[in-house]
A and B are shown apart, each in its own frame.
Chain A
């Protein structure tokens, strides 16, 4: 899967966990997921679970860093870095 496909897959997942009152349709690659109101901090856990299942990432080894889950772009960077290593 290339970055664009991963991005679409990730946005598809984020749609399933977004806040019910999120006012926008677009999900920008760089804007903060929490500050933009798309998700609340609790939803970070669901992103972790998703990344574990979809990309086999092991956060016990990577270490949990909320900043790496800050935006769609930073999540994609994390996936790319971990799959490469």
Chain B
């Protein structure tokens, strides 16, 4: 190993540097930030995040010059807190819940949300104030529904007993924010990964710092791609290139343009879009997980080298880990243990489609919260129509990949021979191509499915 390789390794393994760990664990701040203190900080942060979340939804800050918006959002916040507390009570007293709720707790919770939507849809327009409160509660739900779902899951698995409300609120309204997908999952996973000693905390901090450094690196790479490939005016490097850039359009520009794009450029754009989105997601996810680690939760990364994955299912696992975990916990496993026990292949295909197709569609249906709360079906279809095809292709790809992977397991020699080298590169290329191509159906555009379908076929010269 030469000197440059050695220094790269040192930097890459920053979180395993024993001297640094020894120094950090003796720092006063690290010692002072005990598990209890960190949890207290996160609890206060959760209240703050909950207030900001409730007040920033469905209203602009300048509207708070008047009393009504304050009241609407204030009451909505208290209602949400009440709902979360009730769910917490349900989780810690899970065994005492009625049998119908114990059997399908998640389903009952989602049923409650849909009941809320039904009330909003059916309410007369003149019920202004109360309707406005309900709308703020409903619009906050997609962010809370999966986080609170993890709390219920913890209750169902008997791990919530004895836990305090503050042990749950901090991941339901997390200071590290994130999307509707909860990074780090819920109580069970976070507690398991929580550093209990100054040494473990020091390791977690270094792991967090490493991720935050990676964020800076990926943002820099995105600036370079933005300037050199796209000529993006937002990139600070674009002016330095004095008008030189490759002129490859973003995929959304191709989909939104009337002029036809050369086939070669379309394909280059497809692959670059995959790289761009991977970098963008990695940068965001590293911030969430980086902050989690700074608070002592040494959880898995959200994105871990997906562009090196050699199978479709491995890419799905590495690309957006916590979204995949969400789909697995709430859709895949329940379907797998319930249906087609005696038909292995059908069992697996059903579970894959429950997660990657049904679960994925449902997740994005909830994500389209504004048209959902307005009950605007046309708008929902415009947003989700193309995703329908995307989810179908994704689920099919994963199912095939899973079956291939299962058939390869337990044959060490045969598999070892085929690992790495040119065949490895070929497999990586196939995975890139699959995700780049299906991403065509994932990028938002004002196109009907038929129009998008025609453009999609043109990729293959049809």
Scoring B residues 401 to 417 as 1 if CB is less than 8 Å from chain A, else 0, what string do you get?
Answer: 01001101111101110
A residues contacting the other copy or chain, number (CB 8 A) = 24
Verify A20–B409 contact, CB threshold 8 A: yes
Report the nearest B residue to A58, measured CB to CB. Answer: B337
Verify B328–A21 contact, CB threshold 8 A: no
Scoring A residues 9 to 34 as 1 if CB is less than 8 Å from chain B, else 0, what string do you get?
Answer: 00000011111111000000000000
Verify A21–B410 contact, CB threshold 8 A: no
For the complex formed, measure the closest distance between the CB of B27 and the CB atoms of chain A, giving whole angstroms: 28
Alpha-carbon distance A58/B314, docked complex (angstroms): 28
Task: Tell me, yes or no, whether B166 is within 8 Å of chain A by CB.
Answer: no
Verify B410–A17 contact, CB threshold 8 A: yes
Task: Tell me, yes or no, whether A8 is within 8 Å of chain B by CB.
Answer: no
Task: Tell me, yes or no, whether B156 is within 8 Å of chain A by CB.
Answer: yes
Verify B402–A42 contact, CB threshold 8 A: yes
Verify A59–B313 contact, CB threshold 8 A: no
Alpha-carbon distance A15/B13, docked complex (angstroms): 31
Scoring A residues 47 to 58 as 1 if CB is less than 8 Å from chain B, else 0, what string do you get?
Answer: 011001000000
For the complex formed, measure the closest distance between the CB of A18 and the CB atoms of chain B, giving whole angstroms: 7
Verify B156–A20 contact, CB threshold 8 A: no
For the complex formed, measure the closest distance between the CB of B139 and the CB atoms of chain A, giving whole angstroms: 32
Verify B410–A16 contact, CB threshold 8 A: yes
Provide the residues of chain B in CB contact with A36, threshold 8 Å. Answer: none
Alpha-carbon distance A64/B354, docked complex (angstroms): 16
Task: Tell me, yes or no, whether A84 is within 8 Å of chain B by CB.
Answer: no
Alpha-carbon distance A21/B282, docked complex (angstroms): 26
A60's contact among B188, B337, B419, by CB below 8 Å, is which? B337
Provide the residues of chain A in CB contact with B95, threshold 8 Å. Answer: none
Task: Tell me, yes or no, whether B305 is within 8 Å of chain A by CB.
Answer: no
Task: Tell me, yes or no, whether B334 is within 8 Å of chain A by CB.
Answer: yes
Provide the residues of chain B in CB contact with A52, threshold 8 Å. Answer: 341
Task: Tell me, yes or no, whether B428 is within 8 Å of chain A by CB.
Answer: no
Provide the residues of chain B in CB contact with A43, threshold 8 Å. Answer: 409
Verify A64–B334 contact, CB threshold 8 A: yes
Interface centre among B314, B408, B410 (most CB of A within 10 A): B410
B419's contact among A20, A63, A65, by CB below 8 Å, is which? A20
Task: Tell me, yes or no, whether B157 is within 8 Å of chain A by CB.
Answer: yes
Task: Tell me, yes or no, whether A77 is within 8 Å of chain B by CB.
Answer: no
Given contacts A48-B336, A64-B334, A64-B336, contact A19 B341 (CB under 8 A): no
Verify A63–B157 contact, CB threshold 8 A: yes
Q: Which of B333-369 contact A (CB under 8 A)?
A: 333-334, 336-338, 341, 344, 348, 351
Report the nearest A residue to B412, measured CB to CB. Answer: A20
Verify A60–B157 contact, CB threshold 8 A: no
Provide the residues of chain A in CB contact with B351, threshold 8 Å. Answer: 45
Given contacts A20-B415, A45-B348, contact A65 B157 (CB under 8 A): yes
For the complex formed, measure the closest distance between the CB of A17 and the CB atoms of chain B, giving whole angstroms: 5
Provide the residues of chain B in CB contact with A48, threshold 8 Å. Answer: 336-337
Task: Tell me, yes or no, whether A67 is within 8 Å of chain B by CB.
Answer: yes
Alpha-carbon distance A17/B408, docked complex (angstroms): 9
Report the nearest A residue to B325, measured CB to CB. Answer: A41
Provide the residues of chain B in CB contact with A19, threshold 8 Å. Answer: 409
Verify B188–A42 contact, CB threshold 8 A: no
For the complex formed, measure the closest distance between the CB of A56 and the CB atoms of chain B, giving whole angstroms: 11
Verify A20–B337 contact, CB threshold 8 A: no
For the complex formed, measure the closest distance between the CB of A70 and the CB atoms of chain B, giving whole angstroms: 9
Provide the residues of chain A in CB contact with B433, threshold 8 Å. Answer: none
Alpha-carbon distance A43/B412, docked complex (angstroms): 15
Report the nearest A residue to B338, measured CB to CB. Answer: A60
Given contacts A16-B409, A46-B406, A52-B341, contact A21 B415 (CB under 8 A): yes
Task: Tell me, yes or no, whether B317 is within 8 Å of chain A by CB.
Answer: yes
Alpha-carbon distance A45/B336, docked complex (angstroms): 8
Provide the residues of chain A in CB contact with B329, threshold 8 Å. Answer: 66
Provide the residues of chain B in CB contact with A18, threshold 8 Å. Answer: 409-410, 412
Provide the residues of chain A in CB contact with B341, threshold 8 Å. Answer: 52
Provide the residues of chain A in CB contact with B328, threshold 8 Å. Answer: 41
Provide the residues of chain B in CB contact with A63, threshold 8 Å. Answer: 156-157
Alpha-carbon distance A16/B409, docked complex (angstroms): 7
Task: Tell me, yes or no, whether B38 is within 8 Å of chain A by CB.
Answer: no
Provide the residues of chain B in CB contact with A20, threshold 8 Å. Answer: 408-409, 411-412, 414-416, 419
Given contacts A20-B415, A60-B337, A64-B337, contact A42 B406 (CB under 8 A): yes
Task: Tell me, yes or no, whether B454 is within 8 Å of chain A by CB.
Answer: no
Q: A16-B409, A17-B410, A63-B157 are in contact. List 5 more A-B contacts (CB 8 A).
A: A18-B409, A20-B412, A21-B416, A41-B328, A60-B338
13 A-B Cβ contacts within 8 A?
A16-B409, A17-B410, A18-B409, A18-B412, A20-B408, A20-B412, A20-B416, A21-B412, A42-B402, A49-B344, A60-B337, A60-B338, A64-B336
Q: Which residue numbers of B lie inside 8 Å of A, CB to CB?
A: 156-157, 188, 192, 313-314, 317, 328-329, 333-334, 336-338, 341, 344, 348, 351, 402, 405-406, 408-412, 414-416, 419
Q: Which residue numbers of A lie inside 8 Å of B, CB to CB?
A: 15-22, 40-43, 45-46, 48-49, 52, 59-60, 63-67
